[in-house]
Copies of this chain bind each other. A is one copy, B any other.
Amino acid sequence: MGAKGIKTRQQVVKTALQLFSVKGYFNTSINDILESTRLTKGGLYGHFRSKEDIWYAVYEEAVRIWRGIVFKGVRKTVDPLKRIEKTVENALRDYLGGNVFEGGCFFVNMLVELSGQSASMSKQVLEGFVGFSKLLNTWLEEADRKGLVKKGLDFKEIADFLVIAINGAVTLYSAGRDPATWKQTVSQLKFFIHQLKK
């Protein structure tokens, strides 16, 4: 695979990512991708074996982008509660509010569309969310070990709730495009996290 091929392949992935996020997977046709990339069918199918194949490549790219934004400046944050706060803020203000994907959040859109349609694809997305929740969970346990939070909290439930609230903001912001949606959620979740402190 030469340098040229890699470049056009990346271009296809980049283009398909935006198209999938706006139009959805099923309602984005191969022709849509061809028109946006100025490729032809032969060119496209030289890089990907199928439409589903494109989706998996797009998913990986989306994860790469998402990680870069959501975990920016997070590793160096020592206080685990501050780290959670920072991550939530990044996810809502910079990722969601930053309109990184034209159609809102690629992952939520795909999760909703593919649930009950493609077991393997929706599983892939769902595992991403589960992994995110588990990460928040470990940070909560770290806060517990450091004696920063109240006793008797259900960390899994709290981590899940954070992910749930973020997801809810995504669905409404994607539709209404009112920045108040994610701003309010940041504010409410900061308050929520504050309530956990000792």
Contact = CB atoms under 8 A, between A and B. Distances in A.
Interface of A: 22-24, 26-27, 102-104, 108-109, 111-113, 115-117, 122, 125-126, 129-130, 157-158, 160-161, 163-172, 174-176, 180-181, 184-185, 187-188, 192, 195
Contacts of A112: 104, 108-109, 112-113, 171, 174-175
Query: Dominant SS at the A interface?
Result: helix
A152 to B, nearest CB: 13
Given A116-B22, A117-B23, A117-B27, A172 B181 contact: no
Contacts of A108: 112, 171
Contacts of A163: 168, 172
A161 B184 contact: yes
Contacts of A22: 116-117
